Structure 1
């Protein structure tokens, strides 16, 4: 039993090592795209911080979601954040599953390049939208009488650039249309819808996102319009950008083409082909049909010694 466990552990480490080498090679080729996507995440946070300085508290707007859904209250506002955290962490862990599991269809680096492209496009549209019109925030800390509803004038540029993470993100105001939580949730679920293998998980993921939408409105973190606009905007953006991006390579055909061949490995492969009587030249793959001790080659007859007729 211990020998079997030891063999399985050895296979696991070999799999992790091979996958790590492959992903490092992909990272070396695509690190610029990943870095650009991560930098824009900071720019998005900076923009959300900046609109908070422009926010002016006021009475909450009339909203059909507030009328139909029971209000969670300030003491239960954590429920929607808990659901979002579950969606976020689940997707991140799944994106790294090729390092461990045998059944894998994706490369982690290429997947995150794709995901960040979706996020950047949606967040760019979001920045334009919430800077166009500042609505009074419906959240509890954004209402009149709250000290967090309006930020005091910054004393230095550094105060703005640091964006007071994570408190500045959790207690922001003014960045409403459209919901950033819905951007991440929908991008993650649509990505798993395309590259995930478990149908049951895909169905559960869509159900959880619907629950997430209702919880966001019930906790008064966003107006209903913020969630509705996110639903069709994010889906449309992902649909059109996904058609423009190159498709991820199919892992069922093998991952060897991603690894650069060394000079020694090419030499060994060529020697192996020569020993087997194959030059390895794909242009030399002509049809040779033996017939009565002769070989037909390109329509010409060539006599071969030691043929089957005893000649």
Structure 2
């Protein structure tokens, strides 16, 4: 048994080194896309902070979700954040599972390139919508009488660019339609639905997304319309954008190519295979 372990250990390390080399190669080729997607997360936060300066508190709007769902209150507002953190961390760990488990079906770098593309598209639409119409925030710190409901004019450019971190991120107001938490949640669940392998986890992910939606409304962090718009917008954006992006290769297929094929590449590859078959068939049997 000891001999077998000693024999398998070098093979395992070589395999891990090979997988790591593949991911580093993909990172070297796609770092610009990853960096652009990460930088846009800052721009999205900057836009959300900017709308806070324009926010004007007012009476909470009539909302069907507020009528049917009991209010959790300030003491239980952490419930939605805890569930969101669980979904976020679980998805992040899953994207890095090829470095730990033997069943490798995805490329970590390519998955995050795709996820960031989905997030950028959805967040761009979100910025347009909440700057188009300003609504009074239903959250407790955004209501009339709260010191955080209005932001005084900035004293310097740095105050705006630094987003008053982390207070400005946690206690934002005005960035309502549509929910940013639901963008991340649905993008993660939808991505696992496409590239994940466990059916039970896919179903459980959608259940968590529904629970997350209800908790956001019950916590009075968003109106029901913010959650509803997020559900159909994010799913439509991911559906159409996934069709336009290059095809994701399956890591478990044993393909020697680590890069996704574009439609043009796939057409040329099909033509080459067809030409080979034609050449073979054109060679008749020798007499």
TM-score, normalization by structure 2: 0.88
Whole-Å separation in 2 of the counterparts to 1:203 and 1:98: 22
The residue number in structure 2 matching 1:180 is: 180
The residue number in structure 1 matching 2:211 is: 211
Structure 1 pair 251/47, CA: closer, same or farther in 2 (3 Å)?
same
How many residue pairs align between the two structures? Answer: 268
Aligned pairs (5 A) from 1:101-112: 101-112=101-112
Deviation per residue, 1:158-179 (Å, 9 max, x gap): 1100112222111100000000
Aligned pairs (5 A) from 1:9-48: 10-48=10-48
Segments of 4+ in structure 1 off by > 6 A?
none
The residue number in structure 2 matching 1:232 is: 232
Aligned pairs (5 A) from 1:66-105: 66-105=66-105
Structure 1 pair 12/69, CA: closer, same or farther in 2 (3 Å)?
farther
Deviation per residue, 1:107-131 (Å, 9 max, x gap): 0111111111110000000000000
The residue number in structure 2 matching 1:268 is: none
Structure 1 pair 23/143, CA: closer, same or farther in 2 (3 Å)?
same
Whole-Å separation in 1 of the counterparts to 2:70 and 2:17: 51
3-state secondary structure, aligned to 1:256: coil
Q: Please report the RMSD computed on the Cα atoms of aligned residues, expressed in angstroms.
A: 2.1
Whole-Å separation in 2 of the counterparts to 1:78 and 1:147: 21
Do the aligned residues in 2 keep the contact of 1:15 with 1:99 (CA within 8 Å)?
A: no
Deviation per residue, 1:273-292 (Å, 9 max, x gap): xxxxxxxxxx9xx98xxxxx
The residue number in structure 1 matching 2:114 is: 114
Give how far 1:299 is off. Answer: 5.8
TM-score, normalization by structure 1: 0.81
Structure 1 pair 6/76, CA: closer, same or farther in 2 (3 Å)?
farther
Give how far 1:2 is off. Answer: 5.9
Give how far 1:44 is off. Answer: 0.3
Structure 1 pair 115/150, CA: closer, same or farther in 2 (3 Å)?
same
Whole-Å separation in 1 of the counterparts to 2:62 and 2:12: 56
Structure 1 pair 5/300, CA: closer, same or farther in 2 (3 Å)?
closer
Whole-Å separation in 1 of the counterparts to 2:207 and 2:78: 19
- Larger C-alpha radius of gyration, 1 or 2? 1
- Structure 1: 5+ residue runs without aligned partners? 260-282, 288-296, 302-311
Judging by fraction of residues, say which structure has more helix: 2
Once the two structures are overlaid, the 10-residue window that deviates more, 157-166 or 135-144, is 157-166
Aligned pairs (5 A) from 1:116-131: 116-131=116-131
Structure 1 pair 8/77, CA: closer, same or farther in 2 (3 Å)?
farther
Deviation per residue, 1:144-190 (Å, 9 max, x gap): 11111111111100110011222211110000000000000000001
Whole-Å separation in 1 of the counterparts to 2:143 and 2:7: 61
